[in-house]
Each structure stands twice: as structure tokens, then as C-alpha cells.
Amino acid sequence: MSFDTVSESYQRIERHMKEVSFETPYSFTFERLKRVRELFLKWLDIYKEYTRGYSQELLTRASISTIRMLSFYGVVLERKFSEVFNAKIPAEAYILLKDFFNELGHDEIFYVLAEGDFFEQTSVYSEVCKALLGLTPPGPIRASSQSEVIKTAIRTEDSVVIYYERGQYDNPLAWPLLLHESFHHIYDVERLRRLEQNCPEVQWCREALIDIYITNFFGPAYATSLATYLQRFPYLETISHPDFCARLYTSLLYLTGLMNINNQLPLPINTHITEAFQYVNDIWHQYRRYAPEVQDIAEKIYTSTERDVKRVILEKTQPFLELLLNTEKQRRRVLESTHLDYPQKEILSISDVLEYYERGIPIAVNPRILFNSFISKAYLRNGPGTIFITQCLKKWHIKKMWLKVAEERRS
């Protein structure tokens, strides 16, 4: 083995990266993949620079281990690249996240989806920095700023990388968990750590707060998605994450609050909330005896921040319950107004979505309402097919594009 062998393997990896095709029907997804490929190529350029430097050093016995290490790092980089470009999750999942970032006023955030072992969030720059921790810059390039220039370029053009668990790629009822991972970046950008000031001092406070935020934004669909996932993969408390039952408990507190007012809500909403509450409560009861002190901390976090969380959401968009009530109000007004052109001004509720689903007709509907339409026990057991959900998201995206074009023409 020699450093030439490493260089040849890097050339093969580079060819592979440059030749990969982007099979996506959406231009905004194509542009993301094209840009993130350039970041990976820059990452590879750093390894090339290191290889050149090591090849000029007098490593004696260390040369073989260094060559093997550099080869291994190339393999890891290629695997990271593959996690993005061979991701099996449908391109329509990008629409869900695109709408989420737009709703919260962060449409400038650059992100890609990747397939991994868990739902998690990172960035290309973070991964580069983590990888380089294991590599001491070789002497001949220490004085050179080339690798630092490349690192700076990656940081400037960085991409958030949102991982979904590979076993969930065809389970759209688990996709709301992507919103939790997406919100980590917004949490940092908006410095929402300030919401923690009245919370118990625990390392996993951020995780609990993000769960509370997303549940208030996305509604019972997030609570039931979390419950279903965590029932399959329960885990104990770690430094960064609360115990399984604590995370579920914050969702249950949210649904309990809705249950306390559901007799004042329209029947479809009332039924929707009741079914979600019963489902999450049944799962939580299986684990409620574990770590009661952690649940107490979770409750303190919830009660001390719920009002602030809702205020932060209201600064940008509507919390879920308000969205649902406004949708029902608009729908009733449209149905009662004979002079309106109904098909063009159609407002779709939760029950409408289910009716169309039973007829096998995909529709253009707000993703928050779409996902919440399928969280009753019956639909969780026999979840709607990926094709139906993706077709609905596709129609929603196309409808928004047409409305935007029509608006631009009018102005």
C-alpha cells in the first residue's frame, strides 16, 4: 500500500460523486442535492490535501497505519454521501419540511434529508469537523492555509442534514418526527434557549422543549407519531435525551389540555382529539411507573414554558388548534355561501381528508391537517399508503406554486 493508492481511491470516489444522478421531480430538491454534492467534494479536497502532506512526511513505521486511516476516512465519506443521495424516503418528504420552514419564517435554511440509524440532525460542516478531530494535520501543510480555506467555504455554504431512521422511509405517519430534528437548527438560530430560564436544570431540557413546541405547532399527529415510534424503540434517559415516558408525558399534557376544552369544540375536532388522547394515554400507561421523578421534571418544564412556546409560535404562525378552528370556520362559511365558486375556494377539514382517502382520491391539503387526519386508532393500525400521502403533498405543493404565480401576475 502507498499514498498513491489512497489518491487513486479518492479519484474513484470523486468520479462517483460527480456522476451520481438526482432523480427528483422538484427543482428545489434538485438544487439542494446539487449544492450539497459540492460540499462533499470540498470535504474530499481536504482529505486530498492531507494525503499530499502525509506523503511528504518521514513517517517510517507510521506510514502503513496512516495510509489505512486515510483509506478508511474516504470510505466513511463515501458512505455519508450515499446516505443523502441514496435515501429511499420519497422526495415529497422535502415538501413537508419546506412548508415547515416557510411557516416559521426560515425558508432560507438550506437542508437535505439523509438515511441513517436514528432520527437526528447535524450538518456537513459539523461532520467535517468531527472527522478531522481524528487527523493531525501533516507538517508540510501546517503552514498552508488551503485546507482551512476549504473548511471555511464549507462552513459558509453549509447544509443542515436531517436524518430519518431507514426503517421508517415508507411510513409517513413517522415523518412528523422529522420536524423535531428540523427544529433543532431553528432553536439555535433564534436563541430559544431563553425559554429554559424558568425550567429545571437538566441536560435534556432542550429535547423536551422542542417536543412541546412541535406538538403545539403540528398537533396530535406529532404526539401520536412520537408515541408509536417510542413504543417500538423505548430507551432510558441519557445526558441529552429524557426518558421515554417523560417525552411521552409532555405530549400527554398537551392532549390533556385540549381534552379539557373539547366539549366547546366542533364535533370532528372533538373526536379527533379524543382518539389521539386515548391512543397516547394507552401507550403511556404501559410505562408510567418508570422514572416518576423524570416525569415530574418534564411536567415542570411543560407548565413553565407552554405559554411562552405558544407566544413564540404565534409570532410566526398559528398553533395547531387555532389553525384547525379557523379551517372549520372558513369551511362552514364557504359551504353556506352560494355565491362563492366552491371548487376554487375549497377548504378541507380533517373529516374531508378521510372521506377523500376512502374514495382513493388524493387532494391538495395543508400538511398539518393531512397528517392529523390519519391518527385515529383505525388509521394508525392500517396507516394510509405512502402513495396517497405523497400524492397529497405533491398536489399541495403544485397548488401553492400556482397560487404564487397567480399572485405575481396580479401584482
User: Based on the domain organization, do 54 and 103 belong to the same domain?
Assistant: yes
In this structure, the answer to whether residues 137 and 256 fall within a common structural domain is: no
Structural domain contains residue 102: yes
Please check whether residue 182 lies inside any domain of the structure.
Answer: no
The answer as to whether 270 is a domain residue is: yes
Q: Is 139 in the same domain as 226?
A: no
The answer to whether the Cα torsion of 84, 134, 157, 102 is positive or negative is: positive
Same domain membership, residue 381 and residue 284: yes
Both 228 and 374 in one domain: the answer is: yes
**Are 163 and 223 in a shared domain?**
no
| Residue-level pLDDT at 142 | 60
Within-domain flag for 193: no
Residue 176 domain flag: no
Domain boundary among 151, 170, 189: 170
Range of the domain at 64: 3-170
Same domain, 217 and 325: yes
| Same-domain check for residues 162 and 218 | no
CA 404 from chain centre, in angstroms, equals 25
pTM for the structure as a whole: 0.90
- 159 lies in the same domain as 240: no
Q: Which of 215, 225, 285 minimizes the C-alpha distance to 254?
A: 215
Mean pLDDT confidence for 31-36: 94
CA 314 to chain centre: 21
Q: pLDDT tens for residues 77-100?
A: 999 999 999 999 999 999 999 999
Q: Which residues pair with 161 in a beta bridge?
A: 112, 122
133-139: average pLDDT: 79
Q: What is the pLDDT of residue 239?
A: 56
Is there a single domain that holds both residue 399 and residue 279?
yes
Q: How far is CA 344 from CA 273, 276, 348, 370, in A?
A: 29, 31, 12, 19
- Same domain? For 378 and 286 the reply is yes
Give a yes or no: residue 325 inside a domain: yes
In a domain, 101, yes or no: yes
Same domain, 323 and 378: yes
Considering the domain boundaries, does residue 243 fall inside one? yes
**pLDDT tens-digit map of 169-223:** 999 999 999 999 999 999 888 888 888 888 888 888 888 899 999 999 999 999 9
Do the bridges between strand 111-116 and strand 160-165 make them parallel or antiparallel, or are there none, so unpaired?
A: parallel
DSSP string, 349-385: -HHHHHHHHHHT------HHHHHHTT-SHHHHHT---
Number of structural domains the chain divides into = 2
SS3 of residue 261 by DSSP:
coil
Q: What is the pLDDT of residues 173-187, one digit of tens each?
A: 999 999 999 999 998
CA torsion sign, 59 to 60 to 61 to 66? positive
